[in-house]
Structure 1
Amino acid sequence: MSRDEATRDAVDGPVPGQPVQHGTGVNSNRAFPTDAYRSNLDPFVLFERFYIDPDTGFPMHPHRGFEIVSYMLDGGMEHADSLGVAHTASVGDAMRITAGSGIRHSEFPAGEGGCSGLQLWVNLPRTKKEIDADYADADAEELPTVEEGGTSVTTVVGEGSPLGLQTPMEYLDVRVEGSWTWDGRDGWAGFVYGVSGEGTVDGDGFGQGDVLPMRETRPLELRSDEDLRVVVVSGQPHGEEIRQRGPFVL
C-alpha cells in the first residue's frame, strides 16, 4: 500500500455506508469501497447490504478469483449456479461461493416478496485464483450462537460454523444489549458494520449503515441500550494487490 493510499484510508472512527444502485435495479448500502473509504480492505474486496425488490434481481452472471459469503436478513433468496446448484436461503441462512477459475450464478427473491441480506467478497490468494469453483450453504440452525450477558453472538464463519473459506477469517453477527467487547486478532484486518439499532463503538455513535474499517484490528467495546445489531468481520491479509475488474478479482 502506498503512502497516499494509507493517508487516504486513515479513519479515526465510523463512517457512513454509501447507497449504490446496481445495473439490474438492485439497491445496496455499501460499506467499502466508497467515497468515505475508497479502497478495498485486504483480504476483503467489498461488503454491502443488498435490498432486492420483487421485480429485480441478478440474472445469471460470471465471477472468478474470489469467494462470496451471503447472509440473509429478511425474506428469501433463490440461488442457482453453473455447478447445478439450486438453493433457497431464508432468514439467518448463509451461502459460500468459491468462484475460483470461474462460476456463473443468479440471485432472485423467493416467492412474491423482496429480500435483504449482506454480501461479502473475499479475495483469493494468487496461488489459489484458479482452483475449482465450489459452493456450500448452512441453515440458521447450523450456525452456532452463544449468549454473553445480554448479548448474542452468531458465528457465520469461524469456529463451530460449517462454512469455511480459503482465507483464515471470522464473521460474527452480534446483537448488543448492554456492553460487549471484541478482542480482535493480531495481524488481521477487519470491520464493524451496523445492521440495525443504535449504540456506540469505542464511544463513537454507531447505527444502521455505519462502518468502522480497520487495517489492523484492535479491541473494541460496543455498548447499546437499543439492541444494536452489527456484524464484525476480520481476516488474515494476503499482502497482495486486490485487482477488481467488475465481477472478477484478478
Structure 2
Amino acid sequence: MSRGDEHENPSFAKPRYVAKKVLAKPQFEGDGAIVRRSIGRSELRNLDPFLMLDEFSVSAPAGFPDHPHRGFETVTYMLEGEFTHQDFAGHKGTIRAGDLQWMTAGRGIIHSEMPAAEGVQKGLQLWINLSSKDKMIEPRYQELQSKDVSRVEKDGVDVRIIAGEAFGVRSPVYTRTPTMYLDYTLKPGAHVRQRIPDSWNSFVYVIEGEGVFGNPNSPASSSHYVLVLGAGDGLDAWNRSTKPLRFVLLGGQPLNEPIVQYGPFVMNTQDEIEQTIEDYHYCRNGFENAKQWKSQPQLH
C-alpha cells in the first residue's frame, strides 16, 4: 500500500477487534486538577509501551506544579485552552489547542504544567515507556504548533498525524519507542481504515461522539472510553451517528521489559527505583538543577 490510501484496500487480512473496554472515570491529580485516566488505572495498569493516558480538564489555580520524571516520555496534546510548561533546565513554552509537546524525560526532569489562560484547559497526556537502554539519556523536547501538525481530509475523514503515518503522510516527530498517534474526526456516515503494524499493541480513546470500532456489528462506544484492540493488521472505524466522532488511535511497539513504577519514576528494577529516589533527594545524576529551581507563577 505505497500510497497509504486505506480506502482502496478492500479489507485487512486480520482486522483488529475490541478486546477490552474501560471507562475513564474522573479523579483528582496534581493540585486540584481533574483527569479522566484510562490507561494507568487498576483495570488497565499499562499497555506496553504505554504507561498512562489522562484526559485532563483544568482551571486555574489548579494544575500540575513542580514535579519530577525519569525513565519515560510524556506527550501533551492540547484540545482546548493553553498550558505553560517550565523546567529546571530553563526550558519554557506555552502550548495551545492543537499544539503538541513530546518530552523525553530520560535521566531526569523537574517541571511544572499550569494553565496559562482563564477558563477550562483541556488536553491529553500520554506516558510512553523507554527501553532500558534509553532510560538514562539526556532529556529532549519535540514541540509542534497546530499549524505544523500534518493533516489529511478525505471522504468525511479528517486526521491529524501526531506520530506515525496515515493516508501516506508521515509526522516529523521522532519516536524513540516506535509509536503511532492519530487524531481522527469522522463526519456522520464516514468510515476509515487504518493499518497498524502486526506486532504493536494499540488502542482507541473516544474524545467526542460515538463510533463503531473493529467489528461492524459491535455496539457503538461513546466518549471517555478506552478500547484496547486485539491482534491484527489494522482497524476499521465507522461513525453511524448524526454527530461528529472524534477519537485518537494509538499504537506502539512493545518493549517486553519489566516495569517498576514509583509515581513519576519508571524503571526496570526496584534497585533502580531506589537509586532514582536517592538521586532526586540528593539532586544528582540528572537532578542537579533541582537545588536552586522553582517555577514561576503563571496566572495572577
TM-score by length of 1: 0.90
Q: CA deviation at 1:217?
A: 5.1
Residue 207 of structure 1 corresponds to 222
Determine which of 27, 50, 63 is the counterpart of 2:34: 27
- The 1:163–1:123 alpha-carbon spacing in structure 2 relative to 1, beyond 3 Å, is same
Residue 137 of structure 2 is aligned to residue 122 of structure 1: no
3-state secondary structure, aligned to 1:204: coil
Residue 137 of structure 1 corresponds to 143
Determine which of 235, 238, 259 is the counterpart of 1:220: 235
| Range moving further from structure 2, 185-194 or 20-29 | 20-29
Counterparts of 1:61 and 1:215 in 2: how far apart (Å)?
35
Q: CA deviation at 1:188?
A: 0.3
Residue 253 of structure 2 is aligned to residue 246 of structure 1: no
The aligned amino acid for 2:148 is E
* Percent of aligned pairs sharing the same letter: 38
Q: CA deviation at 1:216?
A: 3.6
The aligned amino acid for 2:247 is V
Question: Deviations for 1:194-241, whole angstroms, at most 9, x for unmatched residues?
Answer: 011122113331111011113645432211132110000001111112
Counterparts of 2:250 and 2:232 in 1: how far apart (Å)?
10
Counterparts of 1:157 and 1:183 in 2: how far apart (Å)?
14
Residue 165 of structure 1 corresponds to 175
Counterparts of 1:216 and 1:192 in 2: how far apart (Å)?
14
Residue 6 of structure 1 corresponds to none
Question: Deviations for 1:89-122, whole angstroms, at most 9, x for unmatched residues?
Answer: 0000000111100001111111222301001000
3-state secondary structure, aligned to 1:186: coil
Indicate the structure with greater strand content.
Answer: 1
Structure (1 or 2) with the larger CA radius of gyration: 2
Aligned 1:61-140 pairs, distance under 5 A = 61-140=67-146
**Is the Cα–Cα contact under 8 Å of residues 30 and 63 in structure 2 kept in the other structure?**
no
**Is the Cα–Cα contact under 8 Å of residues 142 and 161 in structure 1 kept in the other structure?**
no
- Number of aligned residues: 239
Aligned 1:3-22 pairs, distance under 5 A = 12-22=19-29
Residue 194 of structure 2 corresponds to 182
Show structure 1 runs of 5+ residues with no match: 1-10
3-state secondary structure, aligned to 2:186: strand
Counterparts of 1:70 and 1:107 in 2: how far apart (Å)?
10
3-state secondary structure, aligned to 1:141: helix
**Is the Cα–Cα contact under 8 Å of residues 18 and 34 in structure 1 kept in the other structure?**
no
**Is the Cα–Cα contact under 8 Å of residues 81 and 97 in structure 2 kept in the other structure?**
yes
